[in-house]
Structure 1
Amino acid sequence: MSALRTAALRAQAVRATVAPSGARAYATPAAASFSTADANGIKVAGNDEGARTSSISLIVKAGSRYEPAPGVAHVLANSLFKATETRSQIRLVRETEALGGVLSSSLSREHLVLTAEFLKGDEAFFAEVLGDALSRAKFLPHEYTEEVVPQVQGEYEQSLRDLNVYAFDLAHQLAFRKGLGNSLFASPHVAVDQHAAVAFAKSAFTPSNVAVLGSNIDAGKLASLVSDFVNLPAGGASSISTSASQYYGGEVRVPASARVERDQLVLAFKGAARSEVDYAVLALLLGGESSVKWGQGASPLSKLARGAASAKAFNLAYSDAGLFGISVSAPTNEVADIATKAVAELKQVAQGVSSDALKQAVNKAKFAAAAALETRVGQVQLVGEQLAVDGQAPSLESVFAKLDKVSVESLAKAAKAALASTPTTVAVGDTHTLPCTSDSFRPLLRNLPRGPTTRPRAQSNVGAKLLKKRQSVAYNQHPGLFATADGQAQYPPAVPAIPQGLATTAGPASSSSAGPPRPLAAANETPADHQHASSSNKSSTSRQAPAPVVRTDAEKQLVAKGLDVDQFASDSFKPEDFLKQNLPSSRVDGDIQMSDLRRFKGDLESASKTIEGGLQRSVFDNYSEFIVISKEIATLESEMLELKGVLEEWRTVPELLESGTGDDDFMLGSASTPNRRGQRNSIADLATLHKSQLAALWDNVEGAQKLVPYAPGRHIITEAASFVELHTATYKPKQAVHLFLLNDAMLVCLKKHRGASAGGASRLVAERCFTLSEIVVVDLKDAGDLQNAIKVKRGKETIIYRTDKPENKKMLLLAFKKVAEELINKKRKEMLSEAEARKGDPSSLRGYRSDFDPTMADSDFDPVSALGLSEASSARDLSWIGDFSDELAVAISTREFETAVSLVERGKSILPQLASHSHVSHLFRSKLDDRTDSLVAVLLNDLSNPAIRKSGVVRTTNWLLRLGLGERARETFLTARGALIKRRTRQIKFEGDISLYISELAMVSFTMIKNSCEWYMAAFKDNSMASGFVRWASEQVEVYAETFRRQVYGVDQDGRVVEESLEMTKAHGAMLRDVGLDFTFLFDSLLRPDRPKPVETKSSSRLQDVSVGATAQNDDADAVDTGVPGGRHNGGGGQLRPQASAVALARQSIFMLQHEAPMTSAPQMQAQAQRAAQDPSREPGEPGGPGQSGLDDPAGRKPAPILEEEQGKDQRDGQQQEVEMAM
């Protein structure tokens, strides 16, 4: 659902006509008209097209325009199709896929759309699913935390990577600010409360806000299904309200990474609502895409495309407003040229177009509308959204009628109206080169008529001081963009100029790439300012004329009245001097003086309003930059606070060291206080107090003794009971905690209630314990909802705790600081004590080597060269042992096992030569054994990994064989494969069909046995180890047979099922013959229902002489055939011969292979073993008879159990090797 949802969002952001003609969806035979109906106040529309698939879409008035807080609509869209009161999420997915349906959701700026697509005939189920999503959703907290939040963050990051989607989102924010200007995506920088999303759903999911559109479903039938399954709260008007959309415009420039191939420039103007089609025709007239593949296209904007550069016109229409404009995507050096030519084409349309061009654009619009009605997505956008707005389902004929009414005059009027509005410019890329609105597009728009609401956007002279402060703020990169490819930091460009108006009677405003223009001209400066400017920059003023001043109408009126507003921008402004200069002092008449004062007051109020309006416009125009800067400032503040804490800790270290130099109070052996007995008593009392504190902690906190055991000197510093742990991403409360700060650790406890209700008595349960040397505590600055919080960091883990009272936070931080200082003092004392202990020790002298061995120095043997160590190692002392051990440890840590095994082999090779040096030999052997054990542990762990491949098994086994650990390698490999087979068989689902389950069980078991055999024979080349695998394989067959009997044979089992299961087992078991294993003779005895329980044998590398001598005494009346192979009546002794186990048969086969002469083939051996197990004519003591274990000699001798490997080593002849390889 994520891909569908993101695709829908992107399609909504870039659609350029009434409905997109290129949307990929299920095509319908024809665009039939929709009929409408009403179902409990819900507007319903549908049509029956006779197709094989159908769809139902719920269009809800719950887009980002109506959300009460940023990101709520995005969170709500991802929270649907989860667990409901009717079914769980797992059941919903299973049932939907069983019917072949698809559930999806998409979010636009005005609507939230839930869609179900399915085969015709399944309408009732999917109507119920959609109704449950609206009225019975549970909105579980764990779903929000584990699924919704990561999904929302992923879609937000994806929108940042797509510069086109990001640019259009910024364009809406600048154009409308609120409502339609709300972002489609929830930013991770702003926490979204799940309760806010639930409340928004309750207020939005009402009958008046919901419309239902059915594709290939009759409207009457759909209305009946909606009445049955969509149960929304009845009555009342919609509780969602929003003000009418107002267009503002503005400009924003966002620097992009150097890896961006094409920059994005969006130039948008004020459009019209969805009901007007003039702008849709205008967008298609300008064009931008070719109608013929590989062709250039005949539209004006299509002709501008060259190479990777393109320009497209778009029209985004909504219920009461719209956004029309041009989108340019091109390399940095081509954007300005293409954008200028595109605006010129739009200006040309405003002057008039030909009738042929109009006819062509109208035909394109008709085709786009007709093609949209033939797709599911187009039907929702063209019919569904209009149905949700006014309850009407527009037909294709009505759309064509509107398009036919478009004339050349109306088209030119629409173009003029768009150009007369304040443009919205979004530039993403190289902001140094990308064009600004005031620089590039003002000459083209200068002579156009302006609307009544537009005005020159000149910066107020009175706000010059604020302008200077704003210029001092550095812009940072956008969070979704990165550094340059070569790793160097990309410095941001200079602060762009405040967006100026596109038309003014005073001429263009001055601008510069280094910043905005000076707010005051030289002609209007005060004498002091003029003197300062002339003395500091005399040469520059002589070369160029001062830039003209652009004043607003209000400022011109004030200047005309004699009010010098420039004085407000002066740094030396004094209110008293200003009043003396401007108050009329020549008048003495009281009334006249009072009228002058009132007029002067009115002038000042007008100036105040002018300043306030200028500041508001400046804030609105730069709102997006303010948001980015504020987030960066908050991040920097937190990092600075953390850095400050670290620096304070480092600052105390040298001070403490300096204070301890030469101070005998802390030196070992220094003079103590006179009263040593009192000191000992006080220490004993303090130790008793610490023990009592820990005992009380263990009694009151469950599990505290495990995490905080007794240690000498450990005691409690303080405790804090009013803290709450917060979620690190959303800052939502997770659980109440009780913190205990000890002198060396911090214990975190949870508050749990004893009873079922929350009002029962609570108890403390220890959750985790942090060592103070491993954590860093940071004081978080209060901001927004995050008040009185601290952050605990341990490595990459971060935990946030918050309290309601600031004094509790302050107390805990002071305690942490005190404990940190004590730890530093303790460490300093230990360092001093170690330094004192080293005094007089010759080993501390420079050049002294305690490991010097004179016998090795006189020996001719050089272990350094034998081991291949570096020349820095010396054989005169024992440092080469440490170097060898370190080199071997590094090889193990870096998983260079070939090097490690070679080092171990070389180390073992020199042990005989070190035998004469007992001390050296013992030390080197201990180091070698330790490192070898570490190497073997890592190799065995890799060999037992279920994800290991065949090549890894062969390589790892080869290393273990070189280390002389073949038996351990075999046992580890076979044990791991057995566990894997058990896990895989347990993952098979049993759904009632025994035959299907046995088929899957046999396929999994025998396939994995076959693969294990191939891997085993490739890894263990020694033929003497093949018998060990045969034993393991027979055990796996017995395990399969046990499961087979338990599942197949029952009280009322069908005989047909038994036969099918036996046939499938033998068919799958035949694949083992490909690797030389044939257990067909085992299946006949193991798969019978009345088979006695086999004799239990332990899995070992040594073959055990398993005696099968258990007998049962029966009278002659019971002397009948038991029907079990190997269990027939003996006739003479009245005893039942016990059945030979599968392991015994396998061992008998191995024994016959190793002792019979001449050697027989494997099939002959297996046949002999089967006949021996089933022949009742042989006596129990006869060779090969049922009474034997299978290890007895053919001559009647019973040798003691021996190793399989030893037998193979003693009897390696050509025939033996040939038979073993066949197995």
Structure 2
Amino acid sequence: METFYEQMPKLSNALAKTIGHRNFDPEKYVKSVSTQSDGDKDLEEEKLRVQSLGEDTAQILKKQVYKYYQQFIDTAKEISYVEGEMFQLQHILTEQKNLMKVMTDIYSVKDDEKKEDNGSKRSESTSREDRKRVMSSLRDRVEGFPDSPNSSRFLVYDNDVKELELENFSEIRKVHLFLFNDSLMITTWAGMRRGQLVPGKYKFQQILDLKDLAVINVRDLGPVKKSFKVMSFLLSDTVMFQCETTKEKRQWLEILDETKNKFLADQEAGLDNDVPLSPVSPTLSALNPFETEFSTSPKHESAATSVNEIWLADMPEDLDVYIAQRYFEDAVDLIKKAEEYFATNPSAKDMENDLKVRKAQLVAVLVKELGTAPDRSHRGGPTAARRPVALLTKLGESTKACQLFLSNRSNAVSYALRQIRAEGYLGLYITKLCNVFFTGLKDTMVEFELAFSNYHGCYSKLVVWSNMEIKGFVDLVAQQVFTRRADIAEIADCTSTILSQCKATNIAGMDFEYTVSSLLLPDIETSMKDHRCKVIDAVKLRSSEELWRPTNCGTPQMLLKLQEEMEGYGIANIYQYSYNECFCHLTNSTLSFTRALVVHVDSVVKMYLPELKVPMLDGIEAIAKCYTEFIAGCLVSEKERPDKAKLIKRNAMFVAESLLPLIETKIQRCILQLPKQLADLRIEFIKRTSD
């Protein structure tokens, strides 16, 4: 706390120590302040000091967060790394535990083998009758009990648990689990007496195959205690259960693990599940790694010879471990190796179903990696999707990988665009949007070529995706740029930025300039027509108020500013129209017309597209013709007033010799040919004003 107080201002330091004390009582503090104050003014001052302290504290906390932000990130990474190591350690300990149990059972069975040999046949027949009797009783107690094609199914363990919601860990219902030697059955209580659930009668809900089952131990954190998860790879479903006691949870985990291992081992060895597992004395002879050395029965010998590859026998469990520990590359290599082995050894295809299940599970995990969750960061860029895309293509899922990759990039680009705030000058905002969008588009194409260069059928999806993304981007830009209130110069700058950025994004032989131009064409044409109408209306309004007087700038500095402005528009001979240090022969209407026409021409030239040549020339001709007709008419009406006529001719000469040639030059640079209709208009105007 000393560091915190040192950062506080001197006036707030004492107050901070008082309020930050461990035994601080707000009520006593308020009473002491009210008794010591002389009136409302003291209370207001104390209130302001407390508010100032709160603001200072917030600023200090914010600085501390920024200061230690990188440490938070590093700590989170370390925690994630340690969690992965703990998971691996737990798996190793579980394997060691199973191995020790197997070795213990081997020698205990050897010692008691002679004693139990005489009564083995009688106990075997008795146990089978007991199992049949239990299964028959279950059919009566469980409503909708499923019929099993496996006649050797028997009950291993059952108990009551609570089913929890995965999101908020609230209790959904109370269920009863029945663990068989080959499956796990989930039932609910069906009996009711006086509105209360009565044990003994159950209703079937779901049955899960043990070979497609994974049991996950859930750590005790917060409200989640004494719980475990059951995940079905085949159904892509996860259920969480909560036990009454920790001992009961540990018992469930041990029995589920042992039963699944026994079931998988019997399936691989081709054995029948004749001996039930119990939580007290599990028999794991199928997991015995020394069975070929100690066992001489014909059944065991045939099982050993049927699995002629050790790695193939361990393949399902190895794939489960690789997927759980996120060693996806090792899982893909093992799958490819198994597929090659099955292709050359048809006799081993009985394990091909297990391979298909694990392959589907791995594909589902990789698909989730490429998916877009709300809480997932998009800062990794397209390279973050390189690993799952490469693995999916190796597994023969190139079409799915292409679709998910493009969907991932769509969400990433959309997220990046949403982070840009529309603040200040519109052109700057559009420039940021273009940089983000076209850079994302370019990166996506580069990464796409690296990932799918050998899959030519995927390029059609890239073309369709690119067109859809560009259409969405143009719609977003059009909503911001092409509005009735937008200035034509801003619209021109934004359009020019979009087109120039688009030209720089021609990757992999794909040219998006035509697509962008065709999408922008209607809005650009509408903006040109709207601005043309506004300029014509403004020219008519100025013309109606024209008194044909020279412009008085007031001071030489203002005249110099006017000359610099006209030079900026491209009119170099503006100085010959100035006189008496602050006067200009050009009238206000002529100057306003010059500004409006030059701005309009510069804007439409920036937005020029080949399809807009005719409407662009027609619009410029209409604006120029509006003012030239006005000057010609005024020249006729003011013939009787020589001074007025002389001033009108000076303005007409400026329009004909300086302004219109400048406009023709600008347009000629744009369309690479002389605008004949503007040249004809200028020649006709010169003839009419020179008479």
TM-score when normalising by structure 2: 0.39
* TM-score, normalisation: structure 1: 0.24
